[in-house]
Structure 1
Amino acid sequence: MKKYITHFLCLLVVVLSACAKKETSEKPNIILIYVDDLGYGDVSCYGATEVKTPNVDQLANEGLRFTDGHCTAATCTPSRFSLLTGSYAFRNNAAILPGDAPLLIRPGTATLPSMLQKAGYKTGVIGKWHLGLGDGVINWNKEIKPGPLEIGFDYSFLVPATLDRVPCVFVENRRVVNLDPKDPIKVDYSKDLNYYPNGLEEPNLLKFKGDTQHSNTIIDGISRIGFMSGGKAALWKDEEIANVLIDKVKNFISQNKKDPFFLYFSFTDIHVPRDPNKQFVGKTKMGSRGDAIVQMDWSVGKVMEILKQNGLDENTLVIFTSDNGPVIDDGYYDKAAQLLGKHKPSGPFKGGKYSAYEAGTRVPTIVWWPKMVKKGLSNALVNQVDLYSSLANLTHQKVTGKDAPDSFDMLSTWMGNTKVGRKTMLEESFTLSVRDGDWKYIAPQTKKTPDWLANKDIAVGLQQEPQLYNLANDIGENNDLSKKNPQKVNEMATLLKNIQDKQTRQNN
């Protein structure tokens, strides 16, 4: 009898172990690597020849690389809003936020991290935020809320807005890191607080000059947008930011490796101001922008190294992508344009950051999970807005009601089990565009072009008349077919309006 009981217990252990293993494989750790301003042609696996990105290339070689992968918008705040909510940003009038804006995603909104929390995940965000904090005027010297912890994250370590905006401090959970209460922080975006020097009055203090907008308070030899006083002990050092963020990633992963975790690792590279660590300076012939790409690639390698050191590399899904297309000159005279050489940040596409053309939203997109993702190349049309519903499927969560209204379950496409992607997709810039297969429609411009945008050397695609392109034989969007095909223009305009008018998720 004891023999049978022993055999039964052994069999039970095997069954339970198998079930546990199956559950683990069904709920992998998820790391979303979100690079800032990285263009389609900025990494070597997408065609770059003037800069080498071996760590990103390894992800692509071992994973699935998409040639038609998109963020939702050609600027950062809208893309980040869509990524985390599964909703197009125009539904919330989301636009590029100032550094002291209130939290854009309101508490109670269904978000990607809050959905994954329900699935048993520990959730963290590390890096650039730029989705606002607080409810109104922020007191940087007290608890800052609402913020990431109120919309689904268990842990946060933030650059509150962007590197080119004050305050130049880190916020961990709800507090400014290393803040001295005897040296309180004040932030003002309208008047000089006369505490730190500013770039217009003391250009001799600058590592490199900025345009008028970027010539306010000088921190670490770089002039920023906006004015700041106090907080000297809390100020970041630009060239150390990549190291600081990697240390926080290492801590988050090691502390949460026993349970499934979701990490939204939002890079500050390669956004301006570009001041990479000394170990990367001179690694390319393209100056600080090229060197920042190398630093970005190093950070990717460190993430993968941390996973392996913790024995998590076999059960972690890594998604690598960018928040919008590339920009060369974005407010600082860092010689990025002069040193570009043969490098083509947008690859074969027209436009870049801010643009309605393809390079505004078509960005490097790689999915890595060797055990489950079918490696190779996919030409399927995919969009970051669909990660919400796709990861809900992966983790056995239901998306119902008004949650994630624009997010479709495309898990099979993301995993490489099908080459069929989206048929239609909206793209946001300073106008709206829509894709329908290979057809691309750009709606007429209805708002005045911002003065600062007129100074960018980017084809933004803003015109008073509609534009129509067929990407199948015109990938560079050089042949406008709107005059020759008015019926198709009307069809596409109607499709765009239907997307705008819908309020709940519908079939793709």
Structure 2
Amino acid sequence: MKAYLKIIIGVFIPICIDLSSTTASAQQTNQTPNIILIYTDDLGYGDISSYGGQIPTPHIDNLAKNGLKFTNAYVTAATCTPSRYALLTGEYAWRKKGTGVAPGDATSLILPGRTTLPGVLQKAGYKTAVVGKWHLGLGKEAPINWNKDIKPGPLEIGFDYAYLLPATGDRVPTVFVENHRVVNLEPEDPISVSYRKNFNDKPTGSKNPEQLKMMYSHGHNQSITNGISRIGYMSGGKKALWRDEDIADVLVNKSIGFIQENKDTAFFLYLATHDIHVPRVPHQRFAGTTGKGPRGDVIVQLDYTIGAVQKKLKELGLEENTLIIFTSDNGPVLDDGYVDGATERLGEHNPFGGFRGGKYSAYEAGTRVPLIVQWKGKISPGSKSSALISQVDFLRSFAAATGQNVPKDKAIDSQNQWKALTGQQAKGRKSLVQQAIRNVLSYVEGDYKYIEPYPGPSMVPWGVNIETGFKEKPQLYNLKKDPGETENLASKIPKKMKEMKEMKVALKKVRDFKELNTSTKNKH
């Protein structure tokens, strides 16, 4: 812990934000901050100390100290690909087939011509970048040729620059992609990727466990990179392979490089961290600092990432004109495929924040996530909001703030919640939908939550020890009185249960929130 404290002291820099500098396009609406969206991976509601966590996260806490902390904010899905899809398109992922957790060789799920969050800001005059985890597919045709230009990708849907983990850290290919090309790839050592068969009997986790520095617990037993077995098979690209311990630093360097390069213009940075997804392999300077194993250590590594971005903004004098949003892509999971002591070394730390379920689940811990927005001078420091907020609203909210018109038939699930997001009003959404695995949906409105019946397993079937929330009968909970979802009220207040079910069914059929609200307004 002492070693970690030395690290954080060296990076910790308070940040303040204003609107003193604007671009020409942004001056039209007087809402022109640079925007940094920090999208973490598998971080639970209770994982950071400002939300009650037992692991020190001073840089993240500093965002809350100088900004607005939400207690009722949701990601759209309890897994990564659909939540990222909804974030960038303004449309719930369950509306489009094939948006479940994408394999490492998936082709692009968001194609050119779609209205997207970066595209909206690009039209507003922003320079746009994505750095980090993508997991939304790349390229047009399968199988992907990783040895040539790979497109379409982020550059075709509104980003000016991209530096990516193509899928996730536990899937092949274990390489970075910059814009359209694999980084450091040598033509004489081409990459081959397969999710069906191995190449030339190359070592795998299942056949060669003696080569592993981190043992797998379930799945994750195929090709080995950096002493860690992954999902899928890969051959070649030796000089392009990443070293897991360096991923956070690489993403930090690419992020602050983009900030430096665009310091004189409005910019949007979508920093999608690998932390705290598996495999959890902290850099040596963080390893062992928390006493809670690799999962705890990558949380402080994540905190360092936020501090490094803050430090760069301070250095460039940009902290008074930068809006920072910090949130997660879904709820927490402990054992997610590797033996890293995540469960055994928790101690009093509760990643689930007192909620039921977790990643993959229909229960609250799957989709209720931390959300902090800092904009000093515009947002009161140290404030808190219980407004109902969904990440699907970022698109129309940013569009409104930058004076961009989004047609009614685009980004159909996104709402302009700019005032709630920036603390100008206490109320947010009226309702929202949550998506668990197997596309099981829940509907939240006011204090109540309805989970549709589904005859699936009660526990996530691949060994993560998380309740799915699936039951053959409908479930209704009062989240205000019962945030742990312990008492099913469906049979006790059948009228409310029926009303919530009808709203969920109606929402699934219609393609416009205004139409929904108009058609159902007499039922409330």
The TM-score normalised by the length of structure 1 is 0.94
What does residue 506 of structure 2 align with?
Answer: 498
CA contact (8 A) 2:460 2:466 kept: no
How far has the Cα of 1:401 moved from its partner? 2.9
Question: Any conservation in 2 of the 1:59–1:368 contact (CA below 8 Å)?
Answer: yes
**Aligned twin of 1:373:** 379
1:118 aligns with 2:123: yes
Is the CA contact 1:32–1:319 (under 8 Å) kept in the aligned structure 2?
Answer: yes
Q: Does 1:442 align with 2:451?
A: yes
Which residue of 2 is the match for residue 476 of structure 1? 484
Is 1:464 aligned to residue 469 of structure 2? no
Deviation at 1:150, TM superposition (A): 0.7
Say if 1:85 and 1:404, in contact at 8 Å, map to a contact too: yes
Q: Mark the runs of 5 or more structure 2 residues left unpaired by the alignment.
A: 1-20, 518-524
- Cα distance 1:310–1:19, how it changes in 2: closer, same or farther (>3 A)? closer
For the 8 Å contact 1:37–1:326, the answer to whether it is kept is yes
Q: Residue 92 of structure 1 corresponds to which residue in structure 2?
A: 96
**1:51-70, aligned counterparts within 5 Å?**
51-70=55-74
Partner of 1:171: 177
Q: Which runs of 5+ in 1 are unaligned?
A: 1-16
Inter-CA distance 452–67: structure 2 relative to 1 (3 Å threshold):
closer
In structure 2, distance between residues paired with 1:303 and 1:44 = 19
- Structure 2 CA distance, aligned partners of 1:161 and 1:361? 21
Partner SS state of residue 234, structure 2: strand
> What is the CA–CA distance in structure 1 between the aligned matches of 2:69 and 2:233, rounded to whole Å?
42
Secondary structure in 2 aligned to 1:72? coil
CA distance in 1, matches of 2:390, 2:408: 21
Q: Does 1:396 align with 2:403?
A: yes
* Distance of aligned partners of 1:148 and 1:171 in 2 relative to their CA distance in 1, 3 Å threshold: same
Q: Distance in 1 between matches of 2:496 and 2:22?
A: 55
Residues 24, 315 of structure 1: 8 Å contact kept = no
Alpha-carbon distance in 2 for matches of 1:359, 1:131: 23
Q: Distance in 2 between matches of 1:313 and 1:305?
A: 9
Shift of 1:486: 1.7
Residues 1:296 and 2:313 are matched in the alignment: no
SS in 2 for 1:321: strand
Instruction: Note the C-alpha offset of 1:460.
Output: 1.6
Deviation at 1:168, TM superposition (A): 0.2
Q: Determine helix, strand or coil for the equivalent of 1:440.
A: strand
Amino acid aligned to 1:105 = I
Residue 130 of structure 1 corresponds to which residue in structure 2?
A: 135
Does 1:359 find its partner at 2:374? no
Are 1:338 and 2:344 counterparts? Answer: yes
Q: How many residues align?
A: 491
CA RMSD of aligned residues (A): 1.8
* Deviation at residue 454 of structure 1 after TM alignment: 4.7
CA distance in 2, matches of 1:18, 1:79: 31
Q: Secondary structure at the match of 1:453?
A: coil
Corresponding residue SS for 2:38? strand
1:34 alignment partner, SS class: strand
Partner of 2:435 in structure 1? 428
Matched, 1:384 2:391: yes
**Rg comparison, structure with higher value:** 1
Task: Mark the CA change 1:235 to 1:195 in structure 2 (over 3 Å): closer, same or farther.
Answer: farther
Contact persistence 1:195–1:228 (CA under 8 A):
no
User: Aligned to 2:46, what secondary structure does the other structure show?
Assistant: coil
Residue 167 of structure 1 and its aligned partner are, at CA, apart by 0.3
Q: Find the residue that maps to 1:26 and give its secondary structure.
A: coil
Equivalent in the alignment of 2:80? 76
Shift of 1:506: 2.1
- Describe the SS at the equivalent of 1:125: strand
- Structure 1 residue matching 2:319: 3-state secondary structure: coil
Q: Is the 8 Å Cα contact of residues 459 and 468 (structure 2) preserved in structure 1? A: no
Q: Report the counterpart of residue 264 of structure 1 in structure 2.
A: 270
Of residues 435, 448, 463, the one that matches 1:455 is: 463
The Cα shift of 1:450 comes to 11
1:196: Cα distance to partner? 4.0
Cα deviation, residue 25, structure 1: 5.5
Residue 452 (structure 1) shift: 6.4
Rounded to whole Å, the distance in 1 between the matches of 2:450 and 2:67 is 32
CA distance, structure 2, for counterparts of residue 450 and residue 304 of structure 1: 43
Q: Tell me, what secondary structure is at the counterpart of 1:348? A: coil
Instruction: Label 1:19 to 1:250 Cα distance change in 2 as closer, same or farther (>3 A).
Output: closer
TM-score, structure 2 normalization: 0.91
Q: CA deviation at 1:211?
A: 3.3
- The Cα shift of 1:27 comes to 1.3
Given candidates 180, 184, 187, the residue that maps to 2:186 is 180
Question: CA contact under 8 A between 1:402 and 1:505: conserved in structure 2?
Answer: no
1:240 matches 2:283:
no
